[in-house]
Structure 1
């Protein structure tokens, strides 16, 4: 009797052990029940958290699309180009649901996908080759903006204009909440508002300094002059 009971207990223990391994293996390859399908996404975003909120305004990009959003709760959502275009219904007052990463100290979410019945990731967009006209903006900073890595790269002015600055501009002390600012560069008038990409920045026009990360193009000889059609070889010799 003792041997039979011992064998029975051993069998039950072995079955429980195998069942435990089976459950672990199954959990490792089965996504959670509430995870949306991947949609057009290359990577599996099933384990990323969802974030949602009502859109206060969309932020314009240089290709005429939206590259971010400000939510009514104060959150900034940064999007890669081509992501907002996956949902043509995005506009002020609509609830935005994304999957991505959060930087709570910056009130910033880096969106990697729009989340709904399926996850929608950014699709490639054709690059515009037309040059933007010169533009300037002046106003008071009411909101600071960031890129997907959390680095400061722009501001929203009290006029509604969105200002984007290169890294050298972000390293200045001009981008601070509540202060007046003047920017000069090139701009776009988009469906999501005016966008100015700064090449000069300062508290006003007279104190603006060069902040573009692009190298300055040296001024050449004027048209019609002797050296206009000549290109010097490196070292200054022909």
Structure 2
């Protein structure tokens, strides 16, 4: 949302209580003490996480856009108490107000991946940039992430207070850990594999790329029509 001027957005103050991680282990948001879920692109999240190292329990000012679904804000800028601002200036530009001419997008975080399972009760739902369900936070602090379309058949059972189990891969970074679910259910005995989203009916397939193979296919099709 780097095309939005943060100076024309209201300030939402709040105390950061927990960093949120993407399935790749990137910081892509955080929770405030009042329950607000704040979303950020990873290039901003990396800068904010570095600034908050060792002091996550700090009050910040959020300038962002409220989503229709849930108590969620997509942040355009995050202001720290010391006056620093981390704004979404696009992935190819630094998120700080003091840009460096040698800026490069942050590297992918070093991660460790291990097979894992977890069970517990859902403390809150986690969302994507359009407000879609993209994960859960369990009592005890475990973060679980999944693709929105994969959970559509199981969505009725995913709500605050519900029992929840997941199996998949735990991604561990210096900022925390997240379990990327491959199967979910109400208990470890009721796990169901998550299925990738199906292609929508009527969706046009991309045209073949130019080249010998595409030319051969076009000639073959022409021959069939001629016959």
In structure 2, the CA distance between the partners of 1:92 and 1:104, relative to structure 1 (3 Å rule), is farther
In structure 2, the CA distance between the partners of 1:208 and 1:165, relative to structure 1 (3 Å rule), is same
- Contact 2:77/2:85 (CA < 8 Å) preserved in 1? no
Relative to the length of structure 2, the TM-score reads 0.67
Q: Partners of 1:195 and 1:214 in 2: how far apart?
A: 22
Query: Which residue of structure 2 aligns with residue 73 of structure 1?
Result: 34
Query: Which residue of structure 1 aligns with residue 77 of structure 2?
Result: 113
Q: Partners of 1:212 and 1:127 in 2: how far apart?
A: 26
SS at match of 2:149: helix
Q: Partners of 1:55 and 1:82 in 2: how far apart?
A: 18
Instruction: Give CA deviations for 1:102-131 in whole Å, capped at 9, x if unaligned.
Output: 137611111122235555326533346978
Query: Which residue of structure 1 aligns with residue 149 of structure 2?
Result: 168
SS at match of 1:74: coil
What does 1:91-106 align with in structure 2 at a 5 Å threshold? Answer: 91-103=55-67, 106=70
In structure 2, the CA distance between the partners of 1:166 and 1:52, relative to structure 1 (3 Å rule), is same
Greater alpha carbon shift after TM alignment, 205-214 vs 111-120: 111-120
- Residue 200 (structure 1) shift: 0.5
Query: Which residue of structure 1 aligns with residue 191 of structure 2?
Result: 208
Number of corresponding residues: 175
Unaligned runs of 5+ in 1: 1-40, 216-238
What does 1:1-238 align with in structure 2 at a 5 Å threshold? Answer: 44-87=5-48, 88-90=50-52, 91-103=55-67, 106-115=70-79, 116=83, 118=85, 120-121=87-88, 123=94, 124-127=105-108, 132-171=113-152, 172=154, 173-213=156-196
Q: Partners of 2:62 and 2:124 in 1: how far apart?
A: 22
Q: Partners of 1:60 and 1:199 in 2: how far apart?
A: 17
Q: Return the structure number with greater relative CO, CA threshold 8 A, min gap 6.
A: 2
In structure 2, the CA distance between the partners of 1:133 and 1:161, relative to structure 1 (3 Å rule), is same
* Aligned-residue CA RMSD (Å): 2.7
In structure 2, the CA distance between the partners of 1:210 and 1:126, relative to structure 1 (3 Å rule), is same
Q: Partners of 1:143 and 1:137 in 2: how far apart?
A: 16
Relative to the length of structure 1, the TM-score reads 0.64
Query: Which residue of structure 1 aligns with residue 203 of structure 2?
Result: none
- Contact 2:143/2:178 (CA < 8 Å) preserved in 1? yes
Query: Which residue of structure 2 aligns with residue 20 of structure 1?
Result: none
Rg larger in structure: 1
